[in-house]
Amino acid sequence: MLPVCEKKGPAAVAWLKGVKHKFYEDRYRLLSNETPLVRRLNRGEVFAVFDGIGSAPEGMRSAQAMCDILLDFYQQPDEYQAKYSDIQRLLMGGNLIIHDWGFMPGTDRPLGGCAGTIVWIYQSKIHIFHAGDTVALLIRSGESRQLTRMHDYNGAIYRYFGLGSRLEIDMHQELLEEGDRILLLSDGVTKVFHPQEAADFVEHYDDIAKAATQLARTSQLKGSQDDITVLVIEIGES
C-alpha cells in the first residue's frame, strides 16, 4: 500500500493506514491561504495532526472532532480573534466536548481522546499547541529541534484532548525564518524513527510532498504497524 499525499499551499501531508487498524484513525488539517476563507480573513494559516487514542472506542471520532473545531477559528471570527489565547480557548472547548462523551460502562476509561499538535503561522511567528505523543520539529539551516515533548509513560498517554478541565495544553512560540521547515508526525512514524532522524530524512528532499511521502513509506517498510501521518510545512518569503 502506497501513501496518500495531499498538498495545499506551503504544506504537504502523507498518510498510511496502520496494518493493525481497520480504519485510518489519525486526522490532519491543512488550513492554508489556498482556502478562500483563510485567505480572505488574513489571520494566518493553521495546520494540525491528531491521533486517536487506541484504547478509546471513540479515538478516531475524537481526532475528527478536534480537526473540525479548528474551522471555527475562521468561521466564527467574532468569537475567536486572531490571538494565541483564543486558539487555546478554542482547543480547550473541543477537549471539553470530547470529555463530555463520558466513559466506558463500568470503568473510568474515557470513550474519547486524542493526541494532537496544532501549528498556527501568523505574522512571521509559529505558535504551537500540543498534548500527547504527536511531535513537532523545526528544521533550520540543516539542523533540527524538537518543539514538543511526549506526554506518555510506559506507552500510556497521560495528557490528551478529551481529558477535560484537567488538561494543560503545552504552548510554544517563536519567530520563523525564510527556508524553515516544520515537521509534524504521528506516533506511527516515531515508533520506528527517532524524531531527529525523521527530520534528517526530510532534509534530503527539496520537494516537501516527496519528503512526506517517502518518510511515510519508509516508516511502513521499517515495520510500523500504527497509522502513519507526516506533515511538512515550508516557510517561504514573508
Whichever domain contains 210, its CATH number is: 3.60.40.10
**What mean pLDDT value characterizes the chain?**
95
CB–CB of 124/238 below 8 Å?
Answer: yes
Grouping H, G, I as helix, E, B as strand and the rest as coil, residue 198 is: helix
Count how many Cα atoms sit within 13 Å of the Cα of residue 145 in the half-sphere of its side chain: 7
pTM higher than 0.85:
yes
Q: Which domain holds residue 91?
A: 4-234
d(C-alpha 162, C-alpha 23), whole Å: 21
Share of residues in the chain with pLDDT > 70 (%): 100
E-strand stretches of 9-66: 11-16, 26-31, 45-52
* φ/ψ of residue 89, rounded to 5: -65, -40
pLDDT at 98: 98
* The Cα angle at residue 192 between residues 198 and 62, in degrees rounded to 5: 90
d(C-alpha 17, C-alpha 106), whole Å: 31
pLDDT band for 238, please (50, 70, 90 cuts). low
CB–CB of 49/133 below 8 Å?
Answer: no
Query: What total of structural domains would you count in the chain?
Result: 1
- 111-165 confidence digits (pLDDT tens): 999 999 999 999 999 999 999 999 999 999 989 999 999 999 887 899 999 999 9
